[in-house]
Structure formats: structure tokens, C-alpha cells
Amino acid sequence: MLSTQSTLKNYNFAKLFESENDSDVEFKIFNAVDPKTEAKSVKGHQFLLGLLSPVLKKQFLYMKENVIEVRGPSFNSFRAFIKFLYSGEENDIKSINDLKVLFEIYGLGATYQVRGIRNLMNSFVEVPPTKLAYCLEVLQEYETKFIFEDLVKIVQEKCYETLNNNYSFDEIPPTDLIRIWESMNQDLVLWGWSSLKKLKDAAEKAAAAEKKEETERKEDSEEESWEPVPVKPQPKIIERGPICSNCNSIPCMDRQPLDKLKVGTKLRRTQFSSADCYVPEGIDAVVIGLNNEPQNHVKVDILVDDSTVYSFDYYPSFLFTYTCF
């Protein structure tokens, strides 16, 4: 008779995560959009998670009451990230169809120094025509953050393939076509004029067809009744505006975090939440150096009064705003 052996190799860690049995750490995820919303919890096991993440292992040493507060990523993103650490199932990531959630999981992999998860994310990104407009919106949010550089390039390539492989754009609503054209038109070098012209023609054609249909509906209604029929304003193609002379961006990045700015940008410090930087509040300065080599912060050099240089490590939690001149 063959004996049945129990080993950790065959243990179902995913089931352990779902059941929360014997958990000894609780992650409290706070809503970044509405801080007043009650935090949601994800439970785990210090020993197992510490094996996969040196950052978590260090956090476990200094946490209070076995609780770690998490601010930034959404609850769905953080839970999916921890679940994948337990299951190792690629389908847990592949089944996610929200690009923003994938970006957040990608960022969590970098923040907690989990090997392999960033490469895994690159292979699962898809950009169907119906989601092209949304994907471009997500890109605008993450393309200036250096830790997402690799994933941004992957998504841009996917968007470019989707754009070039569509000749009629029938799957995309007319209003989305116009939004896509306006977004891509801001960077002709990246997207290429030939592809954009095809998109612009499709957007203008769709807008004209929608306007014609609305006019015909209005005329038909007038024949049946003298009641006035409101006409919905038609979307218009908006040409790209001037580049901000200070931050060199469209639109101007006024009051954006410091890690989104560029060398040469003038700024003014407000609401600084850390004692690690001694830049005086309310004083004008110029960014003269940005070193993006670390994965979770930026080395910054700031010139004040044309003579004093402040150098410090900037983390996303620091609050900087700047004013264009």
C-alpha cells in the first residue's frame, strides 16, 4: 500500500490566505481619494510574506499591534497583490482587466521588492479598441513616474498596435475617438502623424455623422410637433495648446508632486510633511537635479536665492507644489 505524504510543496497557501487562519499581520488600506472612508483590511502571515519581500520583513520588525497602514494603492490592487504572493497563479493577475489596477500592482512589486512580478505584468497588458481611450488616460497619470517607465512603454506599444491595426474604428464610440485623437495629438513624435491623421479623419467623420443624425432627428420632430427640441452640443476637435514655459508640459503641471517635475522647473514649497528636508516654506526655488535611480524615492537638488543648494531624498508622501512664472 502506498503511503500518503504531507509536504509544504503540496500545501495550498492560496486557501490559507482566503481563510485567514493563523494570520498574524493586518494591512489597513486607506482610501487615497476619500481619507474619511473607513479603511479595509487584508490579513496575512509575517513569516511567509517576509520570505518574499525584504521590505515587508523589515516593516514587520517595527509595526505596532501587528498592524501596517497602507496609503496610495486601492484595496482591490493591494489584495490582488498579496493574493498572488500566496497563490503564485498567473491567472490571478491575468484575469484583471483594469489597467489602473495592473499599474498599481506593478508599483507594489517595485515598492516591496518582489522579484519577477514586474516582468509578469508586462506580458498581460492588452489594449482592445474599446479601451483605448481609458488606457491613454491611465498613461497620462503614470508616464511621468520613473518606476513605471518599463510598463508605460509596453502600454504605449500596445496602444500604437491597436491604433495601426484599426482602419474603420467602428468599435470605438465617436466621443472616445475624439478624446483619443486629442490625447495622442499632444505628442506627434511618439505616435506619428500618419497614424494620427487616420484617427483624426475617423473622429471628424464620426462627429459629422452624429451631427447629421441629430439634425435629422430634430427636423423629424419639428414636423410632428412645434415643441422645441434641445440639441446636444457636438464634440469638437481641439488643437494642442502652447507648452508651459516653466514645466515644459501640456497641460501645465502646476501643483503636481515634485517627482513629476523636470530640471529647470521653478517651484515654491508648501505643506511639507517631513523633517528630512530643510527647504524653507514659501520660498521660491529651481530644480537643478533629479536622480531617479532608487526605486522608491528621488534624489533632488534645489537652488534657492541663486546661491543656496538643498539636496535631499524626496518620497511621494512629501507635499510639494510649485507656481509657474
C-alpha cell at 97: 482587466
pLDDT of residue 50: 93
CATH topology for 12-91+102-123 is: Potassium Channel Kv1.1; Chain A (3.30.710)
Indicate the pLDDT class of residue 325, thresholds 50, 70 and 90.
Answer: low
> Taking 90 as the threshold, does the pLDDT of residue 48 lie above it?
yes
Q: CB under 8 Å, gap of 24 or more: what pairs does 129-132 form?
A: 129/162, 129/166, 129/169, 129/171, 129/172, 130/171, 130/172, 131/99, 132/159, 132/162, 132/163, 132/172, 132/176, 132/180
pLDDT at 25 over 90: yes
**Buried/exposed 126-144: b ≥16 CB within 10 Å, e otherwise:** ebebebbbbbbebbeebbb
- pLDDT value, residue 24: 92
Between 104 and 91, residue with greater pLDDT: 104
Which residues neighbour 91 within 8 Å (Cβ) at sequence distance 6 or greater?
none
Q: Per-residue DSSP letters for 113-150?
A: T-TTHHHHHHTT----GGGHHHHHHHHHHHTT-GGGHH
Return d(Cα 103, Cα 140) in angstroms, integer: 12
pLDDT (tens digit per residue) in 275-310:
556 667 777 787 777 776 555 667 777 777 767 777
Residue 2 pLDDT greater than 80, yes or no: no
Rounded to two decimals, what is the model's pTM? 0.57
E strand residue ranges, the chain: 25-30, 40-44, 67-71, 266-268, 284-291, 298-304, 308-314
**How many Cβ atoms from other residues are within 10 Å of residue 201's Cβ?**
13
Residue 280 CA: distances (Å) to CA of 10, 168, 268, 302: 58, 56, 9, 11
- CA-to-CA distance for 152 and 146, rounded, in angstroms? 9
